[in-house]
Chain A
């Protein structure tokens, strides 16, 4: 009888000790998962910000004689392509397509822009302007499993 009681007490102690070590000693908080399309919409805003900055930087560089007008125009055209693609991506994100379809279309859109290859035909200064846009676009590609552009 005494042996049974001691065993029960010991079991209770072990359970409490386990509870403390697994739960209470190190309280953890679970980070909520942001839905994929919300994450994409947030990154779209990041791209829009990057394009806005790039556009202004480009003009400043031209005004300071760091890049030519023709090169300015080439980069501007790429920024317009990226802005148009951003709008298409936004339209896709609010479409009735399911997420795998949206993901696939978004990857195709950005690959088709050719922005990744644009740098090779630009001067290093002009190419740098595109870097921030490329970085933001590649965040999207990484998030949805697309190729780096």
Chain B
């Protein structure tokens, strides 16, 4: 291989290497951020989310029932 060709290759590799390194770093970061979850871990996430939602559903139902109990005997306000 001629010296000119080697220089060209080195230049190309030099240009290619930072991109390749960044790509590998991105992939590693991605695996750290979103590690592959096992079915048990997914279920735990779902349970946590649904438990939180259920508490809020219960709070909404309680709020509405309390309001209805408080307003059941009052006359309805007139719509302007």
Contact = CB atoms under 8 A, between A and B. Distances in A.
Interface in A38-91: 38, 40-42, 44-45, 47-49, 51-52, 55, 59, 62, 65-70, 72-73, 76, 79-80, 83-84, 86-87, 90-91
Contacts of B74: 69
A24 B16 contact: yes
B19 A83 contact: no
Interface string B41-61: 011011101111110111111
Interface residues of A, number: 51
Contacts of B43: 94
Nearest to B6: A9
Interface of B: 1, 5, 8-9, 12-13, 15-16, 18-20, 22-23, 26, 30, 34, 37, 42-43, 45-47, 49-54, 56-61, 63-65, 67-68, 71, 74-80
